[in-house]
Amino acid sequence: MPEGTTQPFVTHVLKAEKIVFSEYDHHIQRRLSAMKGQYLDQAAYQALLAREDALLYEVYEMRRPEVPGELLFGLSIVHPGIVGQEYFMTKGHFHTVLETAEVYYCLRGEGFMVMETPEGECKVEALRLDSVLYVPPRWAHRSVNTSSDTDLVTFFVYPGHSGHDYGSIEQQGFRKLILARDGRPEIVDNPRWHSPEKRKK
Ligand code: 6PG
Ligand code: NI
């Protein structure tokens, strides 16, 4: 599909063992090495990385001009796995243009969306088959797969000019973490998180 095409186009969600688009022109693969410093248990992270640079998640997108009025959409596939007590998760990001929202529709699996504003307000929403999640403007978002054997697959759509700010999250992390306790997910405070006020000092 030539970029910038102004013609309507169709792609299909193929729900086989792996959910993919019949047509896409951008495929991102994020591995454990891309999550340096993001996992609480750094020893477990290093030990796992020493064994294998595991594939944590993939994104399939149809490229569109990144301009207001266009919508970017795709599939986000977080694979099952665990690092210490923490589940496989996406990097997480604010949109560079903070005043841009996003909609997620869960096509498979179970997990959570961890969200946070620049002021430190946080919210964690459960995702399961057919959940439709609205991420309002100004809320950073990270998908967490809490299944031990099934991909967490979501269809997402967001404004073309949003952009991605990963730096803020890489520096400060999210206020909440999802840990596996007795085989079940538990939402806990991130001991490494500092309030915006404290960060400024
Ligand atoms: C976006 C969406 C979504 C997200 C993926 C991967 O703004 O593009 O939120 O596509 O990028 O779920 O997550 P990360 O961008 O945090 O790696
Ligand atoms: Ni986003």
Each residue's pLDDT tens digit, 18-58: 888 888 999 999 999 999 999 999 999 999 999 999 999 99
Cα angle: 71, vertex 77, 79; to 5 degrees: 165
pLDDT of 110 reads 98
Residue nearest to atom 13 of ligand 1 (CA): 90
Rounded distance between C-alpha atoms, residue 177 and residue 183, angstroms: 15
Atom of ligand 1 nearest to the CA of 164: 7
Residue 72: which residues within 8 A CB-CB, separation 6 or more?
61, 62, 64, 66, 157, 158, 159, 160, 162
Pocket of ligand 1 (CB under 6 A): 30, 59, 74, 76, 90-93, 102, 141, 143, 156, 158, 164
Ligand nearest to the CA of 137: 2
Q: Counting atoms of ligand 1 from 1, which one is nearest the CA of 78? A: 12
Q: Which of 3-7, 95-99, 169-173 has the lowest mean pLDDT?
A: 3-7
Closest ligand to residue 26's CA: 1
Report whether pLDDT(13) > 90: no
Using alpha carbons only, give the angle 101, 59, 104 rounded to the nearest 5 degrees: 35
Q: How confident is the model at residue 104 (pLDDT cuts 50, 70, 90)?
A: very high
Which pLDDT value is given to residue 63?
86
pTM of the model: 0.94
